Amino acid sequence: MIRRLLALCPLWALLAGAPPAGAHDGPPFPIVSDHVSGAYQMDLWTDPDATDDGSAGGQFWVMLEPVDRGRELPADTVVTVGIRPSGTSEGWQRARAEPTGGRISRQFAALVMDREGRYDVRVEIEGGLGSGRAEAWVDGTYDLRPPPVMLLVYLLPFLAVGALWTKLLIKRRQARAASE
């Protein structure tokens, strides 16, 4: 049995060196809900992951609707999301949000949050219905989930117990068959 476990070591090493799948880090949550500004009603959801590698881990989803439900959002509607560390005089880091799924009412922007802490967030809207604005704050944090390779480390004791249990059951069955 130990030989079998040792035979799987190259497979474990191969999996440990595999690049991350780029899956979603965690569920986004709302920081602005049903905010009305100008002719727009908006919601702002975020997944504020801070990163050390310069990647845009701060993700923002803006959902827009006209206050007048009988109107449609014009195609020229532009949404800009900006962030800056709270309590600083640093300039705003801005990104233009892009429609997701071909819907102007659902827009996404990603920004670099290079450290943990509180960030001021500003959403600005310009379009055929006029302008709108919302402000909020969010705490940027590092993704605290363990890397995927740690899954194997955590599973190893359970796999070992399962292997020993299976070995015991097989020996019992063989002993019972031999005595009959």
Average pLDDT over residues 120-128: 96
User: Quick check: 98 pLDDT over 80?
Assistant: yes
46-78 per-position pLDDT tens digit: 999 988 888 898 999 999 999 998 899 999 999
What does the pLDDT read at residue 20?
46
In percent, how much of the chain has pLDDT > 90? 64
User: Quick check: 17 pLDDT over 70?
Assistant: no
What does the pLDDT read at residue 47?
93
The domain 29-142 having CATH identifier 2.60.40.2480: the answer here is yes
CA 106/CA 135 separation, integer angstroms = 18
What does the pLDDT read at residue 136?
96
Q: Which residues contact 23 (CB under 8 A, 6 or more apart)?
A: none
